[in-house]
């Protein structure tokens, strides 16, 4: 069910904690040149907070969108070190990554916190890229889908998503939520999931979205795969009927490699 190739492909670079301004500008000089002519595929860059303004300015007029890697759920106040959705909006962020496994694992982010962050993003009309995925132990115990279901139900509890036709949200397709399936054991390890395995999880996620919301949202929502994606394996993922693109960490730090993926997506 529910494969709809009308969904626009989406490629997100998660730079994580890399680059200072000069490096980012050098990257963009190479990258924007290489992806000139890429139009069908939506490209998003998620630099660290410190680079959002610099990268945002440099991307002006390129069609490439800006994302933050995280946000805090309060609007403003005494929250030392935190960044609100309004601040991200002010810098031109169209997207924000929420619930990345590194934050869940290293910074104790729970589904409840993630739920609040999603609400904050939706309120500010920033499209959230929600990351979900199982650990190696959970996978070995055959609990992958159970874990995905718990994470999705927790993260999305009580959220009202406008239907895509309402066009609210600032994502490239006017949506306000993208889901990235990111098996924790595949992130930064060089061991990627098999495309068929990632597809099974993406389909599970899409069916769950239909249950939690409705079939229109489920048909339209874009689901990414993330975890050791590189030019050599990227095509295998985006060819799957329920995978609409990728969230790329390590390989996105090389502008040539990331541009190559954008071109592959464009051809498929
Ligand atoms: P990776 O990271 O591509 O370096 O595995 C992916 C991610 O964290 O989203």
Per-residue pLDDT, 170: 53
**Residue 74 belongs to a domain with what CATH number?**
3.20.20.70
Q: Are 52 and 18 in contact (CB under 8 A)?
A: no
Ligand 1 site, residue 209, Cβ cutoff 6 A: no
235 located within any domain: yes
**132 within a domain of the structure (yes/no):** yes
Model confidence at 3, in pLDDT bands (50, 70, 90)? very low
Structural domain of residue 142, as residue ranges? 10-267
Buried b (16+ CB within 10 A) or exposed e, 168-204: bbbbbbebbbbbbbbbbbbbeeeebbebebbbbbbbb
Catalytic status, residue 182: yes
Give 145 Cα–ligand 1 centroid separation in angstroms.
Answer: 20
Q: In which residue are the tokens 């992958």 written?
A: 144
More confident residue, 175 or 79: 79
Any domain includes 172 = yes
With a cut of 70, say whether residue 165 has pLDDT above it. no
What is the count of structural domains for the chain? Answer: 1
Answer yes or no: is 187 within a domain: yes
Can you give the pLDDT at residue 169?
55
From the number of C-beta atoms within 10 Å of its C-beta (0-12, 13-18, 19+), residue 225 rates as buried
Q: Is 246 in the pocket of ligand 1 (CB under 6 A)?
A: no
Nearest CA to ligand 1 atom 3: 249
Alpha carbon of 48 to ligand 1 centroid (Å): 15
In eight-state DSSP terms, residue 129 is E
Q: Mean pLDDT over all residues of the chain? A: 94
Note if the pTM is more than 0.85.
yes
Res. 1: pLDDT tops 70? no
- 81 assigned to some structural domain: yes
Residue 184 in this model has a pLDDT that exceeds 70: yes
Q: Is the CB of 188 under 6 A from ligand 1?
A: yes
Residue 1 included in any domain? no
**pLDDT over 50 at 33, yes or no:** yes
In a domain, 116, yes or no: yes
- Ligand 1 mean position, distance from CA 189 (Å): 8
Least confident of 2-11, 25-34, 75-84, 222-231: 2-11
User: What are the helix and strand counts (H, E) for the chain?
Assistant: 11, 8
Handedness of CA 31, 48, 222, 242 (dihedral sign): positive
| Ligand 1 contact, 226 CB (< 6 A) | yes
């Amino acid at each position: 069910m529910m494969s709809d190739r009308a969904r626009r492909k989406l490629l997100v670079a998660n730079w994580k904690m890399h680059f200072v301004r000069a490096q980012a500008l050098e990257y963009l000089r190479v990258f924007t040149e290489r992806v000139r002519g890429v139009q069908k595929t939506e490209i998003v860059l998620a630099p660290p907070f410190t680079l959002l303004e610099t990268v945002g300015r440099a991307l002006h007029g390129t069609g490439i969108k800006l994302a933050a890697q995280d946000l805090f759920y309060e609007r403003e106040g005494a929250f030392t070190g935190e960044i609100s959705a309004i601040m991200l909006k002010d810098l031109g962020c169209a997207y924000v990554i929420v619930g990345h496994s590194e934050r869940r694992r290293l910074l104790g982010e729970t589904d409840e916190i993630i739920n609040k962050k999603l609400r904050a993003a939706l309120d500010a009309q920033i499209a959230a890229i929600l990351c979900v995925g199982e650990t190696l132990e959970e996978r070995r115990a055959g609990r992958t889908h159970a874990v995905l279901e718990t994470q999705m139900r927790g993260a999305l509890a009580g959220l009202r998503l406008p239907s895509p036709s309402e066009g609210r949200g600032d994502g490239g397709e006017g949506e306000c939520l993208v889901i990235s399936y990111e098996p924790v054991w595949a992130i930064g390890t060089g061991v990627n999931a098999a495309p068929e395995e990632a597809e099974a999880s993406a389909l599970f996620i899409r069916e769950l979205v239909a249950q939690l919301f409705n079939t229109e949202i489920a048909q339209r929502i874009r689901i990414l795969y993330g975890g050791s994606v590189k030019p050599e394996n990227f095509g295998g993922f985006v060819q799957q009927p329920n995978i609409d693109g990728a969230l790329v960490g390590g390989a996105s730090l090389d502008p040539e490699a990331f541009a190559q993926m954008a071109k592959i997506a464009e051809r498929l």
